[in-house]
Amino acid sequence: MEEVPGMKPRKLLLVEDDPDLLEVLRLTFEAEGFQTHLAGDGEAALRLVRRVQPDLVVLDLMLPGRDGIEVCQAIRADPATRHVPILMLTARAEEADVVLGLGVGADDYVTKPARPKELVARVKSLLRRARGREPVVTDELLERGPIVIDPVRFEVRAGGERLVLTPTEFRLLQTLASAPGRVFRRGELLDRVVGPDVFVTERNIDTHVKAVRRKLGEHGALIETVRGVGYRFSDELETA
């Protein structure tokens, strides 16, 4: 589980209407040290997500009553739960269904029949992405000294000059600037800005950081290297 000794186990809400599969999911994740809560339909899932406040939801797409799409929308609409990662589990692998699920707020998806090791790996990856991400990366204008990041317009300005960044470079800068002083490990940055399903080495993030620094010009030093660990955005602007 890669948790610090003494920490409480991560809580998962498992939502699946097939009781046999739900039991398999429960056993799989509890064997990995997770604390699980179970729901067999959409209404039960929404009651539990508000009460339990899970660290992550594994959500079946096809549910009786309120389906997975409706449940996902409701979770994202509630300020108390909108930031909970959601892994959608579906037997329908058609592109339209996948796009719909991700479009309403799911963070990732796995098609059935899913291998237990794959499910566990996806869940751990999503939790790494979610770990310690205050302040949350949002669509609000982000100003850090001479750097202004506008997610709505997908625009970055440095010292008043508009920069041209690739989508990966934009997400990288936005992630670092969202939490000045916080150290992001290379693997965590890869999960956040590239995605858990892209098979690249952790050193690839160094190339992206180098490119962002170059484009920031004289302000590139605001992205600091923590040797042997990763990167952080300077917090000197916050405390000056």
Question: CA-to-CA distance for 118 and 81, rounded, in angstroms?
Answer: 25
Report the CATH architecture of 142-239: Orthogonal Bundle (1.10)
In this prediction, residue 49 carries a pLDDT of 93
CATH 3.40.50.2300 in the chain: give the residue spans.
11-130
CA triplet 148, 150, 154: central angle to 5 degrees? 125
- Is the pLDDT at 158 greater than 70? The verdict is yes
User: Which of 202, 178, 197 minimizes the C-alpha distance to 122?
Assistant: 197
Give residue-wise pLDDT tens across range 183-232. Answer: 888 877 887 776 544 444 556 788 889 999 999 999 999 999 988 778 99
User: Which of 237, 212, 213, 216 minimizes the C-alpha distance to 158?
Assistant: 216
- Is the pLDDT at 100 greater than 60? The verdict is yes
More confident residue, 168 or 63: 63
In this prediction, residue 99 carries a pLDDT of 62
CATH 1.10.10.10 in the chain: give the residue spans.
142-239
In this prediction, residue 97 carries a pLDDT of 59
* Alpha-carbon distances of 188 from 43, 223, 236, rounded to whole Å: 33, 16, 23
Going 237 to 138 to 190 to 170, the CA torsion angle's sign is negative
Across 170-178, average pLDDT:
91
Contact 63, 44 (CB under 8 A): no
pLDDT-based confidence at 130, cuts 50/70/90? low
In this prediction, residue 209 carries a pLDDT of 92
Question: CA-to-CA distance for 130 and 217, rounded, in angstroms?
Answer: 30
Give residue-wise pLDDT tens across range 108-122. Answer: 888 888 788 888 988
pLDDT-based confidence at 152, cuts 50/70/90? confident
Q: Which of 4-13, 38-47, 139-148 has the highest mean pLDDT?
A: 38-47
Fold category of 11-130 in CATH: Rossmann fold (3.40.50)
In this prediction, residue 111 carries a pLDDT of 82
- Is the pLDDT at 134 greater than 70? The verdict is no
In this prediction, residue 8 carries a pLDDT of 65
In this prediction, residue 112 carries a pLDDT of 81
Helix, strand, or coil (residue 12): strand
Mean pLDDT of the chain: 82
Give residue-wise pLDDT tens across range 3-38. Answer: 434 446 889 999 999 999 999 999 999 999 999 999
